[in-house]
Amino acid sequence: MENTTNQKLPVQGAGELNIRVAQQNDCPRLMELVHELALYEKLPDEVSVTLAEFEAAGFGTNPVWKAFVAQADGLIIGFAIYYIRYSTWKGCRMYLEDLIVTEAYRGKGVGKLLFNRLIAEAKELDYSGMVWQVLDWNEPALNFYKKYEASIESGWLNASLSREQFLNY
C-alpha cells in the first residue's frame, strides 16, 4: 500500500469524508472501533489483543495487516483492515478481517466507500480475489455484500485453536 493519497468524498450526512491509508497514530481509535464491533457482535469480552500488539502487527518490523480509514471532521468513523491470504487453489487473495463503521454513520455510504477502496486495492495489487466472513444473523452486512453480488457460502465450519489450547501440546 505505497499509495498514501487521501481520497476526499462527500457522504450523505457525514460532510466531507476522507478515505486514506491507516497510520500508526490511528491505532488507539481503531481499537475503540474494534471494541464497538465486538459489542455489536455480542462478544465484548473476546477482544484480547493489546494496543501495543495491534500497533506492532500493523506497523512493526514485520507488519501483517493493512487498513484504510474513513475520517469525517477529524474523527475516524470507520475502517477496513485486511491481510494477504494464500490459497493453494487460487493464489494470493485479500482477506478482509473487519469492516467497521461506527453506529452513528452506518447507512450513509461510508462502508461502501471503504469496500470500494478495498476492491481497488485488490485490483491494483492483482490479487486473485477477496474473501471474508460474515455472521449468519447479521442481516445488514449480508444485504450489503449481496449488493456486490458476493458469493456467500455455506457448508464450511470455522475452526480455531487459542493460544492456551496450543500451549497444551
What confidence category does residue 14 fall into, taking pLDDT thresholds of 50, 70 and 90?
Answer: low
Active site residue 83: no
Using CA atoms of 8, 11, 13, 18 in order, give the dihedral in degrees to the nearest 10.
-30
pLDDT digits (tens, 9 = 90+) for 47-80: 999 999 999 999 999 999 999 999 998 999 999 9
Q: What is the 3-state secondary structure (H, E, C) of 75-142?
A: EEEEEEEEEEEEECCCEEEEEEEEEEECHHHCCCCHHHHHHHHHHHHHHHCCCCCEEECCCCCCHHHH
Residue 2 located in a structural domain: no
Determine which one of 40, 145, 148, 169 is catalytic. Answer: 145
**Non-local CB neighbours of 12 within 8 Å, separated by 6+ positions:** 108, 109
Query: Which pLDDT does position 5 carry in this prediction?
Result: 47
Residue 41 located in a structural domain: yes
What confidence category does residue 156 fall into, taking pLDDT thresholds of 50, 70 and 90?
Answer: confident
Residue 107 located in a structural domain: yes
Task: Give 84-89's long-range contacts (Cβ < 8 A, gap of 24+).
Answer: 84/127, 85/131, 87/128
Query: Which pLDDT does position 138 carry in this prediction?
Result: 86
Residue 34 located in a structural domain: yes
Domain that holds residue 90: 7-167
CATH number at residue 160: 3.40.630.30
**Distance set, CA 106 to CA 12, 31, 61, 64, 103 (Å):** 11, 18, 34, 28, 5
Using CA atoms of 142, 28, 6, 14 in order, give the dihedral in degrees to the nearest 10.
60
Residue 103 located in a structural domain: yes
Q: How many domains does the chain have?
A: 1
Residue 1 located in a structural domain: no
Point out the least confidently predicted range of 18-27, 80-89, 102-111, 152-161.
Answer: 152-161
Q: Is the pLDDT of residue 117 over 70?
A: yes
Residue 75 located in a structural domain: yes
